[in-house]
Amino acid sequence: MIAEQFASPLLLLLVAASVISIMTGEIVDGIIIIVVVLANVIIGTAQELSAEKSVEALRQINASTAVVIRDGKEVEIPAADLVVGDYVILEAGRVVPADLALVQTSSLKVNESALTGESVAVEKDCSEKSDEKTPLGDRRDKVFMSTLVEYGRGEGVVEKIGDNTEIGKISGMLHQIEKQETPLQKNLDSISKVLGIAGVILCVVMFACQIFIYRTPVIETLMISIAFAVAVIPEGLATVVTLVLTAGIQEMSKRNAIVKQIHAVETLGAVNVICSDKTGTLTQNRMTVVKWYLSGEAVEPEELPPDSKVFATLLEGFLACNDAKYSEETGEEIGDPTETAFIKYAKDKKLGYHDIMSGITRFDEIPFDSVRKMMTTLDRVERDGETKNISYTKGAIDSVIVRCDRILDGDGIREITNEDIFHATQSADIMSSEALRVLALAYREGDTVPQEKDMIFVGLGAMIDPPKEGVKETVDECHHAGIDVAMITGDHKITAFAIAKELDIATDISQSISGAEIDEMDPEEFRKNVLDYRVFARVSPENKVQIVQAFQSHGKICSMTGDGVNDAPSLKAADIGVAMGIGGTEVAKDAAEMILVDDNFITIKNAVMEGRNLFNNIKKSVVYLLRSNFGEVVLMASAIFAGLSSPLSTIQILWVNLLTDTAPSLALMWVRTP
Amino acid sequence: MNEKPRDVKAGILNRGDYLNIVIQGLISGGVALLAFLLPVIAQYGTGNILGSLEGNEELLKLCRTYCFSTLAINEMLMAYVCKVKGSLAFFTKESWNNKALNIITAVGVLLQIGILVVPPMRSLLKLAVVGTVDIALILFIAVAGVMINAAITLAKERLDIKRERNL
């Protein structure tokens, strides 16, 4: 690594200069030049040492143990010892140890966010059949290595291990993608090369001129040539650029952006496409109830009639028929986001969550499953000194409403009509088209075992993961600054587009494309048309890399955000990979150039702004340093060609280059753009 | 932030930057050369500069002292020209709002004068002993370089305006 630093023509010229200085008896000059050479080598080597460690982190990520059936017995073995065909038991809290084909599932929910980016746990069902073309997030009969079992139980047979697993494929992709030099690196390298070559040529011409025209003694000529070579080389350039980039990194860390690779700061300033994850970056990653449907009307929370008995029943039902919990210690809701949304609503609106829950005791239940698409709890409810058994059913409207024969509205309980069903279903459809997740609630009274028939329909609750505050304004600022914003998400197209539209990222659904559509498209056609799209939904890791490379093929400087293991290849392929600090996996953080401490889109924009500011300042300093060197070359060349002695000694030129030039050029970097 | 992202293919420096490097380099080099020749001209006139310097190590040392100090001070002052664009940049408030640059320049100029009067530094940098008049002269030439740059930039700006009007 140290030897590579000496490959620079400028350093070689300085080494030659120091050797000649020492040989001609100018020991002090020679030593000073050696010190300058060593300083440059040390700085260069230090930069190299901050090399990436993502592949190493990927190797370390694995499930430590797995429960398998061997010789008819349940045994726990190291995950690394699994072989294809092993029968694995999965339980809540366990990390999936390999890619498995499920043979049995019981309310099994797996969080695949590390692999697919989708933060909501996926319900698995061994009865469904998927193939290799099915998007990862939709393969409900499979579970994948390094994902987390959140709920339920399952059993499966090991299909793939090691590099053949989905996570293993990602590891392979990481090896294939090579990082390119940043524009600044390329520019500085070419400037160095040009100066080095020009320096050597001028030195030779100067030497010949002195020897053959002015008949100057060889020793003196050598000294003049050394002085000239030193004048040509901007010794402080590499140090100044490194120092200013380091200062930029510190400034960015104050603004919640940790930049890992020094030259990434400069690339940030050139970014003109930001591909951003949706959940948690553009949105709050908190499902929030934004609409209710009750008594035949869809209303926003602010429009709810005061003291509505129907709403009180609806809220009580959604809180009772709910597996999420509220933690007094952390003050946060724990559980499935669609369930925590109701607890959050009751807490935020100060609707007496604890009072409601203290009167409810669950004593039986029918868990959710994907066939019935609903769950039921049988609760003992104490209300106004009276105790009743109430069974609440929550689920998809199609499943719930057909099991209802009555409805609760402002006038009390009455028989449900076709018109009631039509209105409720139509409202649910409208809310779904607005990308809201809709849940229906019904109940029965007086049961001793939970039943899902002849129920009383109460209403609907609709929720969404809303955009983060300030993101819309930031997206607009990006547009003004010539930066395109694209949303990349594991969510469905309609949901993604609704949020994108709200944030001004996309205006028409035609600007949205799904991973499956990308796969069907001819790669060249996709590459050509990529600029027409702003929303990329349900995309695979391969799609993400494809998207980045398609943008780059149009000359775009692309920033890509990500948090999961699945994002690592695209983070590495992007000009600036941005990993989430809070929700990001170690692999994503290692593959990225920048880590967002607050997982916020606004921070990306601020970092880009800081990058632009730094680039402008670097440019000023480079101009300043080069003009100083050019001035020295003009001075030396004109004096020597005129037959005069060298107007400056080597040590004087080094003094000017390293002290009187470098210090002001550093100060120029501290100019802040408002 | 409202400006468009830069074209990464365009390179770090554009034509205007290269032109500035050349113009400012010529000015700095020119004034430093003038400073180098000044002691010779002062002692022997312009008649035989080459011959006057030959074998006269003390005079060469004095010439180099003038040249070195002028170049160093001029380059420090030129940082202000690089900071703000425009012919009158040096005289605007904006030019002086970088506290770090102001301190560095003030310390730098004092240090540059300091090495002329501190014997060990003077000996390390192979400088001649100079008096107050010499120092004043060095400062004058260095500042003159900045003024010449302002005049050239002003002329360039006028030419650009004229060309735009003609178009």
A63 pLDDT band (50/70/90 cuts)? very low
A460 pLDDT band (50/70/90 cuts)? very high
A399-403, A578-582, A668-672, B141-145: range with lowest mean pLDDT: A668-672
Whole-number pLDDT of residue A57: 43
Residue A15 neighbours by CB under 8 Å, 6+ apart:
A6, A37
A315 and A442 in contact (C-beta within 8 Å)?
Answer: no
| Beta strands A360-369 and A594-596, pairing class | unpaired
What are the chain A neighbours of B8 within 8 Å (beta carbons)? 183, 270, 555, 557
Best mean pLDDT range from A142-151, A277-286, A317-326: A317-326
Q: Do A634 and B11 touch (CB under 8 A)?
A: no
Question: Sign of dihedral through CA atoms A311, A314, A320, A324?
Answer: negative
What Rg value do the Cα atoms of chain B yield, rounded?
19
Q: What is the mean pLDDT of chain B?
A: 85
Which of B 127-166 lie inside 8 A of A, CB atoms? Answer: none
Whole-number pLDDT of residue B32: 95
What are the chain B neighbours of A667 within 8 Å (beta carbons)? 79, 98, 100-101, 103-105
Q: Do A612 and B5 touch (CB under 8 A)?
A: yes
Whole-number pLDDT of residue A3: 65
Which of A 178-197 lie inside 8 A of B, CB atoms? Answer: 183-184, 187-188, 191
Q: With left for phi above 0 and alpha for psi between -120 and 50, is residue A295 left, alpha or beta?
A: left
Best mean pLDDT range from A58-67, A102-111, A599-608, B33-42: B33-42
Q: How far apart are CA A94 and CA A517, in angstroms?
A: 34
The model's pLDDT over A86-110, given as tens digits with 9 standing for 90+, comes to 999 888 767 888 899 999 887 788 8
Whole-number pLDDT of residue A43: 65
The model's pLDDT over A203-223, given as tens digits with 9 standing for 90+, comes to 888 888 878 877 777 777 777
Average pLDDT score over residue span A624-643: 87
A vs B: CB pairs below 8 A: 184
Q: How far apart are CA B31 and CA B18, in angstroms?
A: 20
In sequence order, which ranges of A98-158 are alpha helices (DSSP H)? 113-116
Best mean pLDDT range from A46-50, A303-307, A353-357, B57-61: B57-61
Instruction: Using the predicted structure, report yes or no on whether residue B87 has a pLDDT greater than 60.
Output: no
Distance from CA of B165 to the nearest CA of A (A): 29
Instruction: Using the predicted structure, report yes or no on whether residue A328 has a pLDDT greater than 80.
Output: no
B34 pLDDT band (50/70/90 cuts)? very high
Q: Output b/e per residue, A321-348; b: 16+ Cβ within 10 A.
A: bbbbebeeeeeebebbbbbbbbbbbbbe
Torsion of Cα atoms, A596 then A601 then A602 then A607, to 10°: 50
Amino acid type, A368: F
Nearest residue of chain A to residue B111 (CA atoms): A660
Instruction: Using the predicted structure, report yes or no on whether residue A409 has a pLDDT greater than 80.
Output: yes
- The CA–CA distances, whole Å, from A56 to A1, A53, A467, A591 equal 20, 5, 35, 10
Beta partners for residue A259, in sequence order: A594
Whole-number pLDDT of residue A392: 95
| Beta strands A374-383 and A360-369, pairing class | antiparallel
Whole-number pLDDT of residue B2: 60
Instruction: Using the predicted structure, report yes or no on whether residue A54 has a pLDDT greater than 50.
Output: no
Q: How far apart are CA A309 and CA A316, in angstroms?
A: 10
Mutation pick from A273, A660, A661 vs chain B, by most beta carbons of B within 10 Å, is: A660
Whole-number pLDDT of residue A421: 94
Of A191, A615, A648, the CB nearest to B67: A648
Which structure tokens are listed for A609? 């702004």
**String of DSSP letters for A146-194:** T-EEEEEEEEEEEEE-GGGSHHHHHHHHHHH--PPPPHHHHHHHHHHHH
Q: How far apart are CA A117 and CA A583, in angstroms?
A: 11
Of A626, A647, A656, the CB nearest to B33: A647
Average pLDDT score over residue span A136-165: 85
Question: Which is higher by pLDDT, A288 or A244?
Answer: A288
Which structure tokens are listed for B37? 């020749």
Which of B144, B160, B29 minimizes the C-alpha distance to B85? B160
Average pLDDT score over residue span A614-625: 84
Instruction: Using the predicted structure, report yes or no on whether residue A423 has a pLDDT greater than 80.
Output: yes
Q: How far apart are CA B125 and CA B116, in angstroms?
A: 9
Q: A213 in helix, strand or coil?
A: helix
Distance from CA of B76 to the nearest CA of A (A): 6
Which of A 247-276 lie inside 8 A of B, CB atoms? Answer: 269-272
Q: Cβ atoms within 10 A of the Cβ of A468, count?
A: 21
Q: How far apart are CA A360 and CA A443, in angstroms?
A: 14
What are the chain B neighbours of A480 within 8 Å (beta carbons)? 1-2
Of A28, A477, A557, the CB nearest to B1: A477
Which structure tokens are listed for B3? 């400006």
Q: A217 in helix, strand or coil?
A: coil
Q: Do A622 and B22 touch (CB under 8 A)?
A: no
ipTM for the whole complex: 0.91
Q: What are the start-end ranges of the E strands in A220-308?
A: 257-259, 273-277, 288-294, 297-299
A563 and A547 in contact (C-beta within 8 Å)?
Answer: no
Whole-number pLDDT of residue A550: 95
The verdict on A519 touching B (C-beta cutoff 8 Å) is no
What are the chain B neighbours of A664 within 8 Å (beta carbons)? 75-76, 79, 101, 104-105, 108
Does the annotation count A277 as an active-site position?
Answer: yes
The model's pLDDT over B43-53, given as tens digits with 9 standing for 90+, comes to 888 777 777 77
Question: Which is higher by pLDDT, A232 or A573?
Answer: A573
Distance from CA of A271 to the nearest CA of B (A): 7
